[in-house]
Structure 1
Amino acid sequence: MAQYQVYQFPAGNKYLQQKWDKAFYDLHRYNVKTAKPTINITTPETYGHLALKLRKQKMDQDRNTQIQRENNLLLEKIAHIMQTTGTVDNLNFYEKKSLNVQQRQMELLHISHENQLMQQRLSQCKSHYNVKSWHQDWIKTMGLMNSISRYPRRAHTKVLYFNYHFPS
C-alpha cells in the first residue's frame, strides 16, 4: 500500500490521508478484479438450422427410398423366377455359316503343299560357302593389319592363325 499513494484531496491530517489512500487503493483493486475483457472469447453461437442440415437429411431420405424401391423390384423378379422355371427363353440355335469355307480350305492345302516342296528343295541344296577360303582371307587381313599397325600383334597369336589346319 505504500507504493499506491494518491493525494486527490489535500488533508491536514496524515491519518485521515492514509485512510483515504487505503479506500482509493481498495476501490482500485476491486475495479481491477471486476474488469471485463474487451475481446469476446466466448464460443460462437450455434444455430439450429446449421446443426440439423435438413437438406442433407432430405437427400439421404430420397436416396434410401430409391434403394428400397430397387430392392423391392429385385425381390419381385427373384420371386417370379422362383415361382416359374427360371429359364431364359431367348436362345438362338442359328449356326454361323461362311460362304467361302471350301475356298479357304483349298487355299490352305495349296499353301501347305508348296511349303513342303520348298522345304525339300532347301534340304537337298549344298552350301556355296567355302570356309577354308574365308580363313585364308582372314590370315591375309591379319598380316596386313600387323604390317601397318603401330603396335603389331604378338607372335603367339600369329602362330595360332597360321597353324590352324582344316580337315579335307
Structure 2
Amino acid sequence: MHRSYQPILPCGNKYLQQKWDHACYLEHRRKVQAAKPTVDNNAPEIFSHLQQKFKKLKLEDERLSNIERNNKKLMEKMSTIMRTTGRVDNINVHKPKSLNREMRQREMQRVTRENQAMQERLKQVEPQYNHLKWLEDWYKSEKYENNIARYPHAWYTAQRLQPKSKARKVKSAKNSEKSKRVQVRTST
C-alpha cells in the first residue's frame, strides 16, 4: 500500500512518509474534535440576586408583618370590648400643648408692633421727588418739542378728525396757493 502512496513533498522513504502523514492527520482530526469555539454562544450565567429580588421580598415581608401587627391590635381591642360593657370611648380629651407657645406668641406680638411702628414712620415721611417740578419740566419739554416740530402738536389729530371731502378741499386749496406762488415768482 505504501508503494501507491504519493507524498506531496519529495521524500527518501515513502513508507515512513506515509506513516508520518497518517499520524499528523490523526492528530489533526483529534484537535478538530477537541477544538473549542472562539465565540461563546452558551447561555449567560444566571445570578441569584437578579432572579430573586431580595429588596422586593423584604418590603413584602415588612408589609405583611405590619398587617399582622395591625390585625393583632384590632383583635385585642375587640376582645377588650367583648369582655367589658362594650362601650367605645371615642372622645379625645387630650389637647396637644406646646411648651413653646407663649414664647412664640410674644415673638409674634413683638414683630407685629415693630411692623406697625415701621408703617407709621413710612406714612410720615415726605417724598423726596417733587411731582410739581416734574409736571413743570414736562410742559417745558412739550413747548420745546412744538417749537422744533414741522407741524403743530394738534395738527395730526385735527387732520384725522376732518371729513375726507373737506380734507380734499383743503389740499386743493393748498395746491392752488402753491401754483399762485410759483406764478408770482416766475413773473417777477
TM-score by length of 2: 0.39
